[in-house]
Amino acid sequence: MPDVLADVFRREAGRCTATLIRVLGDIDLAEDAVAEAFAIAAEKWPTQGVPPNPGAWITTTARNRAIDRLRRESTRTDRHVAALRLESDDMPPDPNPELAAVDDFVDVVADDQLRLMFLCCHPALAADAQVALTLRLLGGLDTPEIARAFLVAEPTLAQRIVRAKRKLRDNHAPYRIPRPAELPDRLHAVLVAIYLIYTEGHTATTGDSLTRVDLSREAIRLGRVLTELMPDEPEAVGLLALTLLTEARRPARTAADGSMIRLADQDRTQWDRPLITEGHTLVRACLRRDQPGPFQIQAAIAAVHADAATAAATDWSQIVALYDQLHALRPHAVTALNRAVALGELRGAAAGLDALDSLDVSLLEDYQPYHAARADLLARAGRREATAAYDRAIELTANPTERRFLERQRNEVADRT
């Protein structure tokens, strides 16, 4: 039973919270009500069995509990008014939540999840607050879990979440899906937050394990929810494809001793085929739609890698062309860096170094991948500055697994020269 409950919690907590926020008009009330409903479930389900639609059961129970509580605590006018609203709402209180009509309910829930995504990623919130709030409200992660995932002190993270919720409340942030005119920017913020959650899970900034699988899984789950709710948004599909294709390489990314394996050296038979197939299907759907965006292009690049049976078989000319397209769409120092690396594969290390040297280094001075890529190209070109570049990259690496990898590379070069 605890497993069933944990499973329902993972799947439904975000959805229930999303609906309760709409019904109650308050994030904290909604969170408390959902938590209470899960506590009741933990008590009742082992003896009474799991209801046929657990999510609707939780939502209805949470709503009924919230009404009770609002009545009890209706000393404050606004809460009293909220209780009145609940009773006069489209969902009359149901003494038997198990019998609640679930169908209409579920439709509404889908929209609520979208509303909540846009609320959590409101541009008035800082990126770290958007990510924390998304994980908390939509992912159902508790504060200690999120704090651990991002290696932030728990009080700091708790404060971040409290402040974000208070800002949304004080500012009367609307609980709605953005209008078409605002949608591109607002959707981009949601996609970036999901992508940040994914990358944090993919390469943890610090900590002794290279991956933090839970965060990556949660990001993929959120990406799936988003594409189900907005199937006509090619960038949402692109983001999901990108995360799936990157995730497919996970089994090959680390050796048995936990050390990191580069893309070029990975055993590609270990790549997750079903994930690649799903990712490829999504990329093809994006290509057919022909409304390219940054996430779709990055997904296409990941798809080219996934297509190659060996590293040597990689179609680097296509990858360079895709980076060109990405850079034309959204110029960025990191894109230029990746293009230079791809060029180094296509035309040799010297060409790659030429491309690197033409970049505006001021933006990349403290960027670890820049120094790691430069060190690699220098080493391949047989240049002795490679060791110094490795040293700089190692200095900038917080992840111990990745640092060990770079140290090994540096020592090999040092032995050679």
Binding site for another protein (CB under 8 A): 21-22, 24-27, 78-79, 81-82, 84-85, 88, 119, 122, 124, 168-176, 178, 182
Using CA atoms, how far residue 203 sits from 29, 212, 222, 240, 369, in Å, is 35, 7, 18, 18, 12
Please tell me the distance from the alpha carbon of residue 211 to that of residue 202, in angstroms, as a whole number. Answer: 5
Q: Are 401 and 254 in contact (CB under 8 A)?
A: yes
- Name the residue among 342, 243, 327, 318 with its Cα closest to residue 292: 327
Containing 349, the helix (H) or strand (E) segment is: helix 349-357
CB nearer to another protein: pick between 122 and 249: 122
Q: Are 379 and 409 in contact (CB under 8 A)?
A: yes
Number of Cβ within a 10 Å radius of residue 380: 17
CB of 76 to another protein, least distance (A): 10
CB of 101 to another protein, least distance (A): 22
CB nearer to another protein: pick between 186 and 253: 186
Please tell me the distance from the alpha carbon of residue 10 to that of residue 304, in angstroms, as a whole number. Answer: 33
CB nearer to another protein: pick between 172 and 288: 172
CB of 227 to another protein, least distance (A): 24
CB of 168 to another protein, least distance (A): 5
CB of 407 to another protein, least distance (A): 46
CB of 181 to another protein, least distance (A): 10
Q: Please report how the helices 183-202 and 143-150 are oriented relative to each other, as an axis angle in degrees rounded to 10.
A: 70
Q: Is 192 exposed, middle or buried (0-12, 13-18, 19+ CB in 10 A)?
A: middle
CB nearer to another protein: pick between 93 and 369: 93
CB nearer to another protein: pick between 120 and 394: 120
CB nearer to another protein: pick between 47 and 77: 77
